[in-house]
Chain A
């Protein structure tokens, strides 16, 4: 059992939902990111997503694009993010997920990446541009080394795609709330409920929803439909403005 699965399991027992904040590693610096992780944990986060900056983040909207640019300018690399995870593991056991594009992973090498990530203390990975169809080797090695592979489903996903993604996912399934990039305007439509129901119809794996969730009200509405709520751009925006993230995350915690 992974840390991520354990977290969802114990939340389920209590009737709780997972709060999963996302921050960009290295924005504004790796040291500050480490402090943010501890702050997020203290504010009630259950799982934390660490973004790995990439030069061409095509699934991300402007807020996270800019954060990636800042982090890259600071010299943040996948290797350094793994080093950061190693440091965090000295002081915290909170489940950590890396969200990275595929090319930095591919460049490091699939097996070296998975081994390094697991030994550093990473629990799972989300690679938005690596669909299960292209991930046979990746999934095999991730299973072997005990790294969760979290795949995305979208409002456009057909039953065939849902089946494939559900099968490939461990830890949880990431349901993208809207057709769009991160930080787009959220609309909670009936299709979301229908899609979540059809996913639930074929799996007991937890489903978390992300993209566009920014207010405690939205977080609460999503929490009533899913097992977890992922909030990224709204937090990244506060960080960019130099504002505190602790109170905001506490308000999300309270809402879900």
Chain B
């Protein structure tokens, strides 16, 4: 949290024309309370010491920056480094934010936390934070995602959380967020909503970015130590956009090529994807103004991705802003490309990536091949793939 606040977002949480607060009035006092608490505790030495100690001893930070020698040699292009967020406790970067918000909730005197989850990673991370801080926890999860990620559902229950199935709409992440927001509206007095990504109403996009930017701060130091210079390119997958902004943020002033990879699903033309920049337009959804997959009447479209964590109709407002400023470019990887990268990394490096992260690997493979051997890429390996093994087997028609 040593980031300077910079010029954005403004006081109302606007990143240029994006972001803001589009929520029912009932939630406004809670958002203002959260904003005040966050502004207070981000400068509170006792809070920061507690968080830093947990980052080290509980989450396992700093995570390694690993030189993927085999993959680099196989491709014959840029040197590929992997930021190993998959080695975080609970298996993904989500814990960085969840632990911090659980500590904040405790400081705010909340006795209950709730969260949405898509792939289950944020739900597991929040349930872990709740167990650690001794706070009651309820997780909302779409029934389609529950089917795809049954292992994570069981993990959350083991951690003592109540997992509530959301059976409306598309039965995925966006519907889980609607339900979590409805719960928060109802129980706003004693409950804190641990939003899992750089999305939603202010201060979430700012706060979650700050909690995740530890990824980039570490990676910057680590690459300077390993290579005595900054990398040429950073690559990360973008669902809501927290692991990518977490990696990119510390490098924003360095004029480095940064690529965010969305879920291309079955291809943009098929309409079955979650590539908001390639297929969306400006809209207002779940608390903020951003790029949104919507129909001509402003209803939110269903999305598709092989990875539950990228299967979302909108994207963090800061991403839109940085895209407009040409700081980050966005592309997408299809289901097929991601599944191929999933296998390539497993076989070449002995690392099974999360299907979300496999989208970044897929783009990394393309980009590295086209760059000279003297160049350096960092790919954020945002999560490990154990949770996806069953689903990948199912797709391949293998009965486990």
Chain B interface size band reads 35 or more
Chain B CB within 8 A of A56 CB: yes
Total residues of chain A contacting the partner, CB 8 A: 42
Chain B CB within 8 A of A151 CB: yes
Tell me the bound Cα distance from A180 to B298 in angstroms.
25
Tell me the bound Cα distance from A72 to B25 in angstroms.
25
Tell me the bound Cα distance from A59 to B22 in angstroms.
11
Tell me the bound Cα distance from A79 to B295 in angstroms.
13
B174 to chain A, nearest CB (A): 7
CB–CB B28/A103 < 8 A: no
Tell me the bound Cα distance from A65 to B186 in angstroms.
16
Tell me the bound Cα distance from A122 to B388 in angstroms.
51
Q: Tell me the B286-301 residues at the A interface (CB within 8 Å).
A: 286-287, 292, 294, 296-300
Q: Tell me the A126-163 residues at the B interface (CB within 8 Å).
A: 128-131, 133-134, 151-158, 161
CB–CB A158/B29 < 8 A: yes
Tell me the bound Cα distance from A181 to B184 in angstroms.
10
A239 to chain B, nearest CB (A): 19
**Please, which residues of chain A bring their CB within 8 A of the CB of B12?**
133-134
**Please, which residues of chain B bring their CB within 8 A of the CB of A13?**
none
- Among A107, A157, A158, find the residue whose CB has the most chain B CB atoms closer than 10 A: A107
Chain A CB within 8 A of B159 CB: no
Q: A55-B299, A105-B298 are known; give 13 further A-B pairs, CB within 8 A.
A: A59-B185, A103-B284, A106-B283, A130-B22, A131-B21, A131-B22, A131-B23, A133-B21, A134-B22, A155-B26, A156-B28, A157-B29, A179-B185
Interface residues of B (CB under 8 A from A): 12, 20-30, 32, 168-169, 174-175, 178, 181-182, 185-189, 282-287, 292, 294, 296-300
A131 to chain B, nearest CB (A): 6
Chain B CB within 8 A of A5 CB: no
B54 to chain A, nearest CB (A): 31
Interface residues of A (CB under 8 A from B): 54-59, 61-62, 65, 69, 72, 77-79, 102-108, 128-131, 133-134, 151-158, 161, 165, 176, 179-181, 184
A-B contact pairs, 28 of them (CB 8 A): A54-B299, A55-B299, A56-B178, A58-B24, A59-B182, A77-B297, A102-B284, A103-B298, A105-B298, A106-B282, A106-B283, A133-B12, A153-B25, A154-B26, A155-B26, A156-B27, A156-B28, A157-B29, A158-B32, A161-B28, A161-B29, A165-B25, A176-B24, A179-B187, A180-B182, A180-B186, A181-B185, A184-B186
**Please, which residues of chain A bring their CB within 8 A of the CB of B187?**
179
B30, B284, B298: the one contacting A129 at CB < 8 Å is B284
A110 to chain B, nearest CB (A): 11
CB–CB B168/A65 < 8 A: yes
**Please, which residues of chain B bring their CB within 8 A of the CB of A151?**
25
**Please, which residues of chain A bring their CB within 8 A of the CB of B169?**
55-56
B21, B26, B168: the one contacting A176 at CB < 8 Å is B26
CB–CB B283/A154 < 8 A: no
A129 to chain B, nearest CB (A): 5
Beyond A56-B286, A134-B21, A156-B30, whether A72 also contacts B299 by CB under 8 A is yes
CB–CB A79/B182 < 8 A: no
**Please, which residues of chain A bring their CB within 8 A of the CB of B23?**
129, 131
* Chain B residue nearest to A176 in the complex (CB): B26
A86 to chain B, nearest CB (A): 18
B309 to chain A, nearest CB (A): 19
